Amino acid sequence: MQRQLVDFKNVTIQIDSQKYFNDVNMSIEKGEFVFLIGKTGSGKSSLLKSIYGEKKIIEGDAFISDFNLCKLKNDKIPVLRRKIGIIFQDFKLLNDRNVFNNLVFVLKSTGWKKKELIEERIMECLEKVHITKLKNKLTSQLSGGETQKVAICRALLNNPEIIIADEPTGNLDPVSSIEIMEILKEINKNGNTILVATHDFELLKKYGNRFMKCTNGNIELIEKKNLKLENIYK
């Protein structure tokens, strides 16, 4: 039987030297759009970081695609991360260069050599996120919504198997938040798997179909009909 794209069974995640996140069970199939919900401090970010190798898994079975995270060596983490597109709340763009050169930096850092192929891939991704007109703009001159769109474009560059977004609308106004979610929805329709951590209840109601609640070291599935504000924060 083919393994699911994300497959965690009875996983323990080390958060720091004294704190652990225990008994995590979750699965995500290829092509799904999943929301990870839960109150602040419930472990959402730590769980996401365990997927891309920033938090250590010390017990259980954990696979991302064909990567066994429990046996993942440090020198293989960059290889894993090429399979994962990561969108951060605080963007993490380089503000001393324009949008195009931010994206060039990512591709060169992940092994791309040929200038024409780099330019072609960047233009493909800019078009997917509808920001071709921003390519020559300094990132320091972008609005919050524009900056997050560039971050989404960056996440797409290496054609990842899954895109992980940690509170991607947390610093944005409502209009920009909807624009970002519409882009993620469109990307998902094109075949990319999406995992979004958020506590924005309005976006959850509008865009969500499958919800995993992070609480007390467990992942609980919540049906849309049972999605209520108190279910997220209790």
Would you state the pLDDT for residue 220? 84
- Per-residue pLDDT tens digits for 103-121: 999 999 988 999 999 999 9
Q: CA–CA separation, 181 vs 203, rounded Å?
A: 8
- Give CB contacts under 8 A, 24+ apart, made by 77-80: 77/52, 77/53, 78/110, 80/52, 80/53
pLDDT confidence band for 162 (50 / 70 / 90): very high
Model pTM score? 0.90
Query: Contact at 8 Å (CB) between 232 and 201?
Result: yes
For the chain, give every domain's residue range: 95-159
Tell me the average pLDDT of the chain. 88
pLDDT confidence band for 139 (50 / 70 / 90): very high
Lowest-confidence segment of 1-5, 53-57, 60-64, 78-82 by average pLDDT: 1-5
Is pLDDT at 81 greater than 50 in this prediction? Answer: yes
Residue bearing the bigger pLDDT, 90 or 8 = 8
Residue bearing the bigger pLDDT, 92 or 27 = 27
Backbone CA torsion sign across 73, 55, 184, 95:
negative
Would you state the pLDDT for residue 113? 94
Tell which residue, 61, 73, 139, 49, has the closest CA to residue 100.
139
Tell which residue, 151, 156, 161, 125, has the closest CA to residue 51.
161
18: exposed, middle or buried (Cβ count in 10 Å: 0-12, 13-18, 19+): exposed
Tell which residue, 74, 30, 63, 70, has the closest CA to residue 163.
30
pLDDT confidence band for 184 (50 / 70 / 90): very high
